[in-house]
Structure 1
Amino acid sequence: MHRLPGLDLLRAIAIVWVMLFHSYIVGGLGPDFAWLSRYGWAGVDIFFVLSGFLIGGQVLRPLQRGERLAFGEFYTRRAWRIVPAFAVVLAAYVWFPACREAPGMQPWWQFATFSMNLLIDYGSNQAFSHAWSLCVEEHFYLVFPLLAWWLTRRPSMRKFAGVCVGVMVLGIVLRSAVWLHDAAIDPPRNWFIEDIYYPTWMRLDGLLLGIVLAALRVYRPLLWTRWQTYANAALAGGVVVTGVAFWLFRERAGLLGNAIGWPVLSFGFALLVFAGADRRSPIGRWRVPGAGWLAAVSYSLYLSHKIAFHLVQVTFGAALQGHAALAFATYAAAVLLLGAALHYLVERPCLRLRERRSPQAPAALETMAS
């Protein structure tokens, strides 16, 4: 399988960052290392940009060649990729409440239908709540192929740009309006999470910027190649823009960040993904030991890491208090072991079954999202 080290590195950073952020459920990393996890929620947005880029390429490539889009094959491949490991973890949460990092949990059918992010009562049901981002991804998988097919029936750069600008502006307007409304009435619930942070229509910026990259690569390959000569500048620009976004999000639930912070953050990450897709950039040619493995098992780690945190806490939490280094190593080992078990025992065998059923592989770059 042909892989790009730069995108593997970004995926590895994203999953580690998310897990560090979620360490708050076991007391966090302590004041000396809180800076490592403060913006860890942004790892999800790296995944969104990567998904938009990689899945966007899978969908747009046959359309660019004038071929019919095999909707059934696309949805079936996505199901084989997503559902088996997710079903195992969901069953553990439903059937074994002792695995839950929080007592309350939304009804199982909301997870099974990927509607949990739209219906959650976050104040009462926080267990497995990180599945909200998977719900966003599933909605993207469902809608984007249809939208891409419609847009490419009569290809028009003006129409594509109009849709992209419209989605981004609509997101800014919706988030701003909801924030101002909820802040004014201050309902007795976590309205930031339920009304702004989790709903799919509020979180399209990263996916959109990834799709823009995919469209550029597929429909303007010469321009893509020419611009890739500036990958180092894109990398530097991505770091700067991401820093600006974090400044906007210095108050994470504030109006400024949630109005314009998401498109700025997504643009910064899109620049990093663009740089990572070129083997001549520093991150594109740098094979960091372990990054490829973390990227490969990132989905299983994402699904299971809170279970690992919780089980270590209830089993060894008291003994680990006051031993920061040992605690970090124990939690990390448990997360990696459980994630690896899920990957090698469930996720990978199901992917092999999928390939036996449908052996044709996507284009080289897109195999990382397959």
Structure 2
Amino acid sequence: MTHHQQNHQERLHGLDHLRALAIILVFLFHYFILSGGQPAWLPDTAQFGWTGVDLFFVLSGFLISSQLFAQIKKGQPISFKDFFTRRFFRIVPAYLATVALYFCFPFFREKESLPPLWQFLTFTQNIGLNLKDNGTFSHCWSLCVEEHFYLFLPLTLITLQTFKRFKRSYGILIGLFLLGFVIRYISYTSLYLPHIDSATPWMYWYQFIYYPTYNRLDGLLAGVSIAAIYRFLPQTWTYISRWGNVLTALGLVLLTGAYFLCENQMTFNASLFGFPLIALGYGLIVTGAVSTRSFLYQWSSKATYFLATLSYAIYLTHKGVIHMTHKILSGFKIDDNLMLFICMITCVGFAWLMHTTVEKPFMRLRSRIIRKKPANKNVTAPEPAK
């Protein structure tokens, strides 16, 4: 067996498919908003596309914690410095390049005004975000949530390692999951409801319910839980993995229920129970995708691999590129469906440029910096995109 064949077998193809699905969902959801609901068929088709971010959360929770759990299982201490070095070179260069585009080139902005620069530089843009007045690059909120996760997770694991309490850490997962219901209840009743009769109640719902990190941990916690079983309970995982396709189907059933529950996102039930139900649904699908007997695991695709590779760059830049494409072509009478296709091409092309000129050089630099350190043989999954 060649080295290429080994890498091919080791790669978790199912996660590529899901990452590609996630970026397609997010792209279509944002496209119909930016295009004023065109093409006419798109709003009904893509209105649940906002959950693509939740799928990214589950994927990130699984991949990142799986890597750290592999170290713990081998008895290796977690190095906060090493972890952040890897995360920094994977996330920050492309992110800062996108921030620079937004602040230096107003033509790139899909809306009128940006939050202050310091909020982007400190990953606090999702706290108190006013979508009505500062909605440009609003999708950065999910990256803020993940950066908070990248700070919280290794520090928690290092603390558990230090005090030898790791075996009982499942209580933290359960506690955080239950705490999410409490915090969303308080956020809904005490922060959102007082503004429900205002001129823009939706703005306050996003500000107090949708964007804050403390309300959106469900997907990440689902990913961490899957990784814990994957790494530490091999017999349980062997049993679960026999049912990969069934778990995928069950996940789709739960997501169908979440679709109807969240038709009006701003209701009490949707605000309280929508995010955990979506996290559970996508969690089952991710579990299925990592199960060796599932069709998602066994099917490899160059198309989904390509989209998965570019998904982070697409996520960062797609709103600005859609806006620019519409502006540049506004003088032409272009069919709505053709315009959608053109924007797909321009977004993928721009993301490829970002990936080639920014992401890959900094990943090579990261490799040179950590080259002298032993590679983690347990990491077989691709890098997560946000």
If the length of structure 2 is used for normalisation, what is the TM-score?
0.91
Pairing partner for 2:357 from 342, 345, 350: 345
1:347 maps to a residue whose letter is E
- Residue 18 of structure 1 corresponds to 26
Kept in 2: contact 1:4–1:279 (CA 8 A): no
Kept in 2: contact 1:80–1:350 (CA 8 A): yes
- Residue 7 of structure 1 corresponds to 15
1:111 maps to a residue whose letter is F
Mapped to 1, the partners of 2:294 and 2:80 lie a distance apart of: 35
Tell me the CA shift for residue 358 of structure 1: 1.0
- Residue 188 of structure 2 corresponds to 179
Matches within 5 A, 1:329-344: 329-344=341-356
Pairing partner for 2:283 from 270, 288, 309: 270
Matches within 5 A, 1:236-275: 236-275=249-288
- Residue 142 of structure 2 corresponds to 133
Kept in 1: contact 2:195–2:204 (CA 8 A): no
Q: Does 1:202 align with 2:212?
A: no
- Residue 117 of structure 2 corresponds to 108
After superposition, the Cα gap between the structure-2 partners of 1:228 and 1:112, relative to the gap in structure 1 and judged at 3 Å, is same
- Residue 328 of structure 1 corresponds to 340
Query: Which is further off, 52-61 or 174-183?
Result: 174-183
Q: Does 1:282 align with 2:295?
A: yes
Matches within 5 A, 1:1-370: 1=7, 2-23=10-31, 24-152=33-161, 153-155=163-165, 157=167, 159-181=168-190, 182-186=192-196, 190-321=203-334, 323-359=335-371, 360-362=374-376, 363-369=378-384
2:216 maps to a residue whose letter is R
Kept in 2: contact 1:242–1:264 (CA 8 A): yes
Tell me the CA shift for residue 289 of structure 1: 4.2
Query: Which is further off, 202-211 or 285-294?
Result: 285-294
1:10 maps to a residue whose letter is L
Mapped to 2, the partners of 1:320 and 1:106 lie a distance apart of: 34
Query: Which is further off, 76-85 or 281-290?
Result: 281-290
SS of alignment partner, residue 119 of structure 1:
coil
Mapped to 2, the partners of 1:280 and 1:28 lie a distance apart of: 40
After superposition, the Cα gap between the structure-2 partners of 1:171 and 1:320, relative to the gap in structure 1 and judged at 3 Å, is farther
Tell me the CA shift for residue 156 of structure 1: 5.6
User: Aligned residues, how many?
Assistant: 368
Mapped to 2, the partners of 1:320 and 1:65 lie a distance apart of: 61
Mapped to 1, the partners of 2:362 and 2:307 lie a distance apart of: 19
Query: Which is further off, 82-91 or 26-35?
Result: 26-35
Kept in 2: contact 1:308–1:331 (CA 8 A): yes
Tell me the CA shift for residue 92 of structure 1: 0.8
2:379 maps to a residue whose letter is A
Tell me the CA shift for residue 252 of structure 1: 1.5
- Residue 3 of structure 2 corresponds to none
Mapped to 1, the partners of 2:129 and 2:159 lie a distance apart of: 32
Tell me the CA shift for residue 253 of structure 1: 1.8
Mapped to 2, the partners of 1:313 and 1:35 lie a distance apart of: 21
Identity of aligned residues (%): 35
RMSD (Å) for aligned C-alpha atoms:
1.7
Tell me the CA shift for residue 60 of structure 1: 1.6
1:137 maps to a residue whose letter is E
Mapped to 1, the partners of 2:56 and 2:178 lie a distance apart of: 22
Kept in 1: contact 2:58–2:219 (CA 8 A): yes
1:132 maps to a residue whose letter is W
Deviations 1:89-121 (A, max 9, x none): 100101111110011100111101100001322
If the length of structure 1 is used for normalisation, what is the TM-score?
0.95
Kept in 2: contact 1:89–1:303 (CA 8 A): yes
1:283 maps to a residue whose letter is L
Deviations 1:67-99 (A, max 9, x none): 111110100110000111111110010111111
Please identify runs of 4+ aligned residues in structure 1 that moved more than 6 A.
Answer: none
Mapped to 2, the partners of 1:103 and 1:354 lie a distance apart of: 36
Mapped to 1, the partners of 2:240 and 2:232 lie a distance apart of: 14
Kept in 1: contact 2:310–2:348 (CA 8 A): no
Mapped to 1, the partners of 2:175 and 2:208 lie a distance apart of: 20
Kept in 2: contact 1:53–1:213 (CA 8 A): yes
SS of alignment partner, residue 101 of structure 1:
coil
Kept in 1: contact 2:226–2:283 (CA 8 A): yes
Deviations 1:170-202 (A, max 9, x none): 111111222123224435651111111111010
